[in-house]
């Protein structure tokens, strides 16, 4: 599904030098590269504060802790997402309120958000699934009207641009109160292990998140709040510093591959290609088809026999997972999510796909579904 080796080969000299430098200085924790990468990312995103941490799941948890959410508070998020988003809500004793997504674009359904707001609702967590932004303009308006926080889960959409109706642009994750991202190796900006970050334009929230990720510590050995230990390793920061310089080029390569797939599958009634969200660019963390009248299991097996991986993101809806089953989350409650989980198929998507490989994939997919 990804070709991290091919990507590494092209930046090997710089990455190796960066890693070696960390080893030479033995500044494994909070070394210079962490601050440098943080500053580079702030500049790239045009955001006041980036707070690096250990992974994307921690980023979401620290964000919710910093907002002072209390046990029993309700947090609205999408039912069609990776488990981490809803998991941290539950772990903190908050109530995850799942809402369905839009059938064509996979983003959270804003009408459903509004229908699910109660006196206990404190935050909305839109997920910029597969690489394009949810309807942030409407989500921010809803949040303002009901006095709610917005935490953007931007783990799959780092670098995507959102354009407001007045023409103003912002990077994904810098629109809500806090943005949370992941540097997991296969993400669009991936390191060589685990990593993550929070973004915010709010000085106070930045201070709190920094404190929480360092054991609730403001001054060494002075602990003002309960926190955790969540840091980005210096070695990972050194890798990310190099890769950030290539992020736009990586997005362009993904978009080019997506365009190739789009053209090959256009007008095939059995394959619905991904629909773009009007106000967002798409950085294609995944290229996800919706199958129509195709035996998905068989297709995956046949593709695998021809050396083509294809994955299902995500096979089981959150509300049907044992960990999330409850009175309010029952089978049948989220028809769009249920249909997507049954029909989606993601094709190989990465920065190293050449036309020959893409051609081979498309030819075989078309042959097998027709």
Ligand X SMILES: *Cc1c(COP(=O)(O)O)cnc(C)c1O
Q: Is 84 in the site for ligand X (CB under 6 A)?
A: yes
Q: Is 196 in the site for ligand X (CB under 6 A)?
A: yes
Residue 265 or 313: the one with the smaller Cβ distance to ligand X is: 313
Contact set for ligand X, span 147-186 (CB under 6 A): 153, 155-156, 182, 184
Rounded to a whole number of angstroms, the minimum distance from the CB of residue 152 to ligand X is 10
Distances in Å between the Cα of 358 and the Cα atoms of 183, 259, 368 are 26, 10, 15
Q: Is 89 in the site for ligand X (CB under 6 A)?
A: no
Encode 26-42 in three state secondary structure: CCCCCCHHHHHHHHHHH
Helix (H, G, I), strand (E, B) or coil at 276: coil
Rounded to a whole number of angstroms, the minimum distance from the CB of residue 77 to ligand X is 10
Q: Is 288 in the site for ligand X (CB under 6 A)?
A: no
Out of 37, 80, 82, 324, the only residue in the binding site for ligand X (CB under 6 A) is: 82
Residue 231 or 265: the one with the smaller Cβ distance to ligand X is: 231
- Write the DSSP symbol of residue 125: E
- Write the DSSP symbol of residue 133: -
Residue 350 C-alpha from the chain's centroid:
15
Contact code string over 228-257 relative to ligand X, x by CB under 6 A:
------------------------------
Rounded to a whole number of angstroms, the minimum distance from the CB of residue 269 to ligand X is 30
Select the residue whose beta carbon is closest to ligand X and give its number. 56
Q: Provide the H-helix boundaries in 26-131.
A: 32-45, 56-66, 83-91, 110-115
Residue 62: count other Cβ atoms within 10 Å of its Cβ.
Answer: 27
Out of 76, 97, 98, 127, the only residue in the binding site for ligand X (CB under 6 A) is: 127
Residue 7 or 188: the one with the smaller Cβ distance to ligand X is: 188
Asked if 83 and 61 touch (Cβ cutoff 8 Å), the reply is no
Rounded to a whole number of angstroms, the minimum distance from the CB of residue 249 to ligand X is 22
Instruction: Tell me the two tokens of residue 356.
Output: 């020959």
Those residues whose C-beta lies under 8 Å from the C-beta of residue 224, and which sit 6 or more positions away, are 211, 216, 217, 218
Contact code string over 50-69 relative to ligand X, x by CB under 6 A:
-----xxx------------
Rounded to a whole number of angstroms, the minimum distance from the CB of residue 155 to ligand X is 3
Q: Is 85 in the site for ligand X (CB under 6 A)?
A: yes
Residues in contact with ligand X, counted by CB under 6 A, come to a total of: 15
Instruction: Please list, residue by residue across 65-95, b when 16 or more beta carbons sit within 10 angstroms of its beta carbon and e when fewer do.
Output: bbbebeeebbbbbbbbbbebbbbbbeebebb
Name the residues that contact ligand X, by CB under 6 A: 55-57, 81-82, 84-85, 127, 153, 155-156, 182, 184, 194, 196
């Amino acid at each position: 599904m990804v070709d991290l080796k091919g990507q590494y080969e092209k930046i090997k000299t710089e990455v190796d030098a960066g890693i070696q430098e960390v080893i030479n200085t033995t500044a494994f924790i909070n070394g210079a590269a962490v601050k440098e990468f943080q500053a580079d990312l702030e500049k790239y995103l045009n955001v006041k504060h980036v707070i690096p941490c250990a992974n994307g799941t921690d980023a979401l948890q620290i964000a919710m802790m910093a907002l002072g959410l209390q046990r029993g508070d309700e947090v609205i998020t999408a039912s069609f997402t990776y488990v981490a988003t809803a998991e941290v809500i539950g772990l903190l004793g908050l109530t995850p309120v799942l809402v369905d997504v839009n059938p064509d674009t996979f983003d959270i359904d804003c009408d459903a958000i509004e229908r699910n707001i109660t006196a206990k609702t404190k935050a909305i967590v839109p997920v910029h699934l597969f690489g394009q932004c949810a309807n942030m303009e409407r989500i921010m308006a809803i949040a303002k009207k009901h006095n709610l926080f917005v935490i953007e889960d931007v783990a799959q959409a780092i670098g995507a641009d959102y354009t407001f109706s007045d023409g103003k642009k912002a990077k994904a994750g810098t629109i809500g109160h806090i943005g949370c991202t992941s540097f997991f190796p296969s993400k669009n900006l991936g390191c060589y292990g685990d990593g993550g970050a929070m973004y915010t334009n709010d000085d106070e929230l930045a201070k709190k998140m920094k404190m929480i990720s360092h054991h609730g510590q403001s001054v060494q050995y002075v602990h003002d709040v309960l926190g955790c230990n969540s840091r980005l390793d210096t070695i990972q920061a050194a890798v990310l510093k190099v890769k950030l310089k290539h992020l736009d080029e990586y997005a362009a390569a993904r978009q080019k591959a997506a365009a190739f797939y789009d053209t090959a599958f256009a007008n095939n009634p059995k394959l619905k290609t991904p629909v773009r969200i009007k106000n967002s660019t798409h950085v294609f963390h995944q290229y996800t088809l919706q199958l129509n009248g195709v035996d998905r299991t068989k297709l995956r097996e046949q593709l695998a026999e021809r050396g083509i991986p294809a994955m299902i993101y995500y096979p089981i809806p959150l509300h049907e997972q044992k960990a999330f089953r409850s009175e309010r989350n029952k089978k049948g409650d989220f028809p769009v999510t249920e249909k997507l989980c049954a029909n989606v198929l993601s094709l190989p998507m990465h920065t190293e796909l050449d036309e020959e490989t893409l051609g081979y994939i498309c030819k075989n997919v078309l042959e097998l579904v027709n």
